Structure 1
Amino acid sequence: MKRIALTGLTLAAIMAAGGGGYWAGVQGIPAPGLRALFDNLGIPAAAEPAGTGAVIYYQDPDGKAAYSATPRQTGDGREFRAVRASEDVSFEDKPPVTAEAAGPASPRRVLYYRNPMGLPDTSPVPKKDSMGMDYIPVHEGEDDDGVVVKVSLGKLQRSGVRSALVERRVVGRLVRVPGTVRLDERRVSVVATRSEAFINEVANVTTGDRVTKGQMLLRLYAPDIATAGAQLLTDLNGGGRDSTLGGARQRLENLGLPPEAIAEIERTRKVPLSMIWRAPSDGVVLERNVVDGMKAAPGDVLFRLADISTVWVLADVPEFDLGAVRLGAPATIRVRSLPGRRLSGQVSLIYPQVGEATRATRVRIEIANPDGALLPNMYAEVEIGSGAAAPVVAVPDDAVIDTGTRQVVILDRGEGRFEPRDVKIGLRGEGFTEIRDGIAEGDRVVVAANFLIDAESNLKAALRGLTPVETRP
């Protein structure tokens, strides 16, 4: 019992005298084992200086090359050690070398040694630079010809690097342009005679009034129509052949007499002294060029009508946005006279010419206007949905580094490894950019702090480019 106590006192004296490290080295006891021996003997270990600053990451309590971004425990239940900002002073891309990592059991082979200051100098054997700093070993898998950038966990935490998954999605954006409401040219009609006529009576209809199909517009007398009607009655009363009757009807049709008026002559067997001219369709009276008692020449436009149940909106799309607009694209229309109301339509035509003065192309959008709220020549604000209808490979806008002549994204290859990749971009919209070449669906790209990684990659490539070919391993 006394011998055990004497041994403990002797050991304590040796440790107090500062010979603990030497004694441990002679006995072959590793640092963790020595710490356990101290604990068994009841000797407190020397207090280590506490780190300051935020916790950057967590490290294995025995100093092994095991790290975690969140609190973690070892297999035997011990907590990982918190490494603070003041303790993470290494600027290398690898964790501190421990006895286990530096031992001969390491599976990676050292290819060569590079200058610790990044200078264009390598060595096939370990050496020191002019300031006494050890050259850094480059292992198999790390010699990437300057393409892959390696960043330590501490740097990732400090710089706020974030990555996102590359997915397929519909990339679109809104093309906002001015427009003007126009009449549908296919819904405009005129009322005119094909022979000389005398206007007996004009209905109480003026410019701007709405009319319905079949509504009376005017009553007129036309000598040519009366003559053709009399010939039809003669053929009917004399039991004329079908060919003869057909010829008489055709003359009346050629003079513009409506079919219902011809049917009325055949039914009553009487030619009226004046004919009623009716509205050919629903619409609005755009022009009235007729008054009671006037004589109308063949072809004179008496009324001009327009059906406004459907109207056009002609939008001027700038030339640089034209490639994003497609037929059938949805469009939203807003007019100042209808605040808060949005009308929907589709692009029905892209006109085949560009205006010389405006460098814009007109796009036609058809809009239903059942209540007639949209009037010709109204100013409209147009939003056209652009982009492909099918999903495409896309990344967030922040992932693309665009220099004007070159577009780059940073691939996240895991374990702190990043690779700059040149890409070809397409459409942009709603916070995403189409990638047509360079990456594929399922890759991970950096969306935050990518400029820092790109700068480090360019510096690394530049330094390697300065190295003479004969000095490279």
Structure 2
Amino acid sequence: MKRKDFIKWTGLAVLSPLAVLESCKPKADKAAAAVAVTTYTCPMHPQIVQNKMGTCPVCGMDLVVFDKNNKEASLTLSKEQQLLANVTTVVIGAGSMDNITRLNGRLVVNPSNTVYVSSRVAGRIESLSVKETGALVQKGQLLYRIYAEQLLALQKEYRLAVAQAKQFPADRRFQEIEAAARKKLLLYGQTPAQVTQLISTEQDNPYVYYYAPATGVVAELTVSEGQYVAEGSPILKLEDYGQLWVEADLYPGEASTISKGQTVQVVIAGNEAEKYAMKVEFLEPALQAGTQLLTVRGTIKNTNRQFQPGMPVQVLLNKGSVSDLLQLPLAAVIRDGQSAHVWVQSAAEKFEPREVKIGLENAEMVTILEGLDEGEKVVISGAYLLYSEYILKKGKHPIHS
């Protein structure tokens, strides 16, 4: 019996270490597997992913561990990495800001400066001095010459009336006929000088000359040389671009913030460095067809004709100013449809995302109502790079995880 007990305990003593070794194998294998799947990436080029340490083939920086399981809500960038990423910060502070609403608009031709030229007589266009649209025409410049058979008949009638009046100077009836014939020529568009020349030369001239009634640009040309036109037929349209309308779109809820006679600033696309003063001349009383917008209109000078109708503009509607609010450049705030956040430098090489509530904003700055304290360092350049790198490295949104 003692022999059997001895064999039993001897067997257990031999097998126990083996069992312990076997139980340790899975843990060792898991640890080895974890080491095997560790990957590395470049802080500046997260598309570079390798399963071993090394340098980035793009920028030459040392690769870092690619760990999406890191729960720390921050990013660490060395000074060299910050320089390469162009990450700059500013200490947030309070200040004043103009409360400006920007209205989208456009430049439009002022119809009061548009002149339509039509034929006052029927005939054939003998010659055109202006043959293409876009040409600049000066007031008094010859536009076209038209052959009019009716003018020829009126000239003959007048010369005959003049001859009869001279032959019978005492007959009042012939004097009245001569005066009526002369008036017909004047009403037909002949000048007194042309009528006088007709008598002195005794030669009929069946051509009617038309001159530009105003300075402008030919916007439409509806005839060509040799074409027959009826009385009243349109010939061309002249538009003066020396003054242009500015028409801007306004929502009905904003109508109370603007009034007729108010002076606003206009910024024209391509010339954003300069602002032009404009007085509001018209507020549309009804909504535009098919929209929920009203039209605001004013006039600006275009003396050098550097602006063209159709150019987009912005009308700056100043609603006053506010003060003692925290401000940041617009580029510092990231808006992704869910929230707005900024990146705060909490240490020399550490950056944390911070959700903020924004208030008023203009073309350059935005006010911060909640989420930041005066004196904190906020990233103003490179914020979108930090946002993208956080998502790539952590696999989640900086704010909404």
TM-score between the two structures when normalised by the length of structure 2: 0.48
TM-score between the two structures when normalised by the length of structure 1: 0.42
Structure possessing the higher relative contact order (Cα contacts under 8 Å, 6 or more residues apart): 2
